[in-house]
Amino acid sequence: MLVVMKSHATAEQIAAVCAQIERLGLRPHPLPGAQRTAIGITGNQGEIDHSSLSELSGVTDVIRVSKPYKLVSRYVKEDDTIIHFPGTDITVGGRDLMIIAGPCSVETREQAYRTADAVASAGAQFFRGGAYKPRTSPYAFQGLGEEALLILSEIRERTGMRIVTEAIDQDALDLVADYADVIQIGARNMQNYSLLRAAGRKRKPVLLKRGMSATLEELLMAAEYIMSEGNYEVILCERGIRTFADHTRNTLDLSVVPAAQQLSHLPIVVDPSHGTGKRDKVLSMARAAVACGADGLIVEVHDQPDRALSDGAQSLYPEQFAQLMREARQIAAIVGRSLPGNARGQVAAQEEPVNA
């Protein structure tokens, strides 16, 4: 169910509708848009008697939403969701592309600092690095845990980049939400519904990666879990899916970008690193991702990929990442987007010619 407010509805009228929804034992989700505010309703198992809502002042319509996903849908919120990062001018989902770069895992302070300095100089605004790693083998490197989170916060201080890191379970989630700017939920956890709900109770944006065999609808339903708990700042991420093709680690499904943007107001970024698994394919797919309208990229970069403890084969050398940034900046301009850069990297990234 969706309550559509009149375009000039006041804050008091919106609050009165929310209060009435709560009196009905349901949960209101006010979603302001450029034209009007819509209030999504969740918590009902069946039909709601909506006469007590349609009569309230400021209400123009009460609509039944038949789609399984509601809050993620353009039907409920027509305008793109734009996420702001407090204390910065960084936005995600608007004109600027979100560029996240860094190693698969934080391995040592030195490795993380060297890589962070390199990607900051190339213009990245977000630094990634796993503190908790979901590894196929229980004997593989599992991440440094809280020690890595401390290193990541030092990097935020040092470079000004915002931090994106994965929470693999509820214990990690509490720590990640304290230290990071964006909580990553990995492909393997896309349908871990209790973790999604818990992330929905945090007040930090969530980067939600598509499960390796998930349909678009399943991805949107996973985002719906997060939003249904009141966290409306969800960034979708295409990171490749399992297919019969074996020339790459996964098959990067770029067609999901326009498909998701048609159905949902949420931003969607692309991970060409996990999407290909091969360093020499990352640049091509990053170019294509920007060209097809993705809202950003998440790219693995390591200062010594051959020594990486995880995902070295798909990690770019810093100079390859700098090249990717120069090209992405040019392609972004063609599709009406921009790469904002950062205080440290913007000038350098703009000055160097593409084929330098």
Radius of gyration in angstroms for the set of CA atoms belonging to the chain, rounded to a whole number: 21
Residue 146 vs 352, nearer CB to ligand PEP: 146
Which region, judged by CB under 6 A, interacts with ligand PEP, from 183-191, 197-205, 317-325, 348-356? 183-191
Site string for ligand PEP, 197-236 (x = CB under 6 A): ------------x---------------------------
Binding partner of residue 209 among ligand PEP, Mn ion, none, CB cut-off 5 to 8 Å per kind = ligand PEP
- Answer whether 41's CB lies under 8 Å from 1's CB: yes
Residue 210 vs 337, nearer CB to ligand PEP: 210
Residue 20 vs 165, nearer CB to ligand PEP: 165
Angle of CA points 94, 321, 179, to nearest 5°: 60
Residue 77 vs 209, nearer CB to ligand PEP: 209
Which region, judged by CB under 6 A, interacts with ligand PEP, from 8-16, 83-91, 185-193, 318-326? 185-193
DSSP alpha helix (H) spans, 122-249: 146-159, 170-179, 193-200, 216-228
By the rule CB under 5 A, 237 interacts with Mn ion:
no
Residue 33 vs 134, nearer CB to ligand PEP: 134
- In order, the DSSP letters of 65-111 are --SS--TTBTTT--SPP-EE-TTS--EESSSB-EEEEE-SB---HHH
Which has the closest alpha carbon to 256: 243, 241, 244? 241
Residues 255-314 that bind ligand PEP (CB under 6 A): 274
Q: Which of 17, 62, 176, 187 binds ligand PEP (CB under 6 A)?
A: 187
**What is the nearest approach in angstroms of ligand PEP to the Cβ of residue 354?**
28
DSSP alpha helix (H) spans, 239-307: 256-263, 272-276, 279-291
Helix (H) or strand (E) holding 209: strand 206-209
- Answer whether 1's CB lies under 8 Å from 48's CB: yes
Return d(Cα 200, Cα 198) in angstroms, integer.
5
Task: Please report, as ranges, the residues that interact with Mn ion according to CB under 5 A.
Answer: 104, 311
Task: Please report, as ranges, the residues that interact with ligand PEP according to CB under 6 A.
Answer: 104, 130, 134, 186-188, 209, 239, 274
